[in-house]
Structure 1
């Protein structure tokens, strides 16, 4: 509970950031991560399988 109170105090101390705006930004970042993860994983797979790595 102390952490939540400290976080709420930090967010309220900045005038340009509200709790609603913060959670919207975090939701957007999470969605971007979820949608980009398969694309990046496939690109990594292609890079690993298309080139031979020698010791």
Structure 2
């Protein structure tokens, strides 16, 4: 069981579709201490996928 501190953000790195650690499709999940707006999430997405 994963216990989260409701006052802090928590990040978890996982690899989907893998039968051993650090293989497969990497993904990051972030549990936030409060609800955020759709605009905030879209800004994060733009930042993550911006081409250099």
Normalising by structure 1, report the TM-score: 0.30
If each structure's helix is expressed as a fraction of its own residues, which one has the higher value?
A: 1
Where relative contact order (Cα < 8 A, 6+ residues apart) is larger, the structure is 2
Larger Rg: 1
Normalising by structure 2, report the TM-score: 0.31
If each structure's strand is expressed as a fraction of its own residues, which one has the higher value?
A: 2
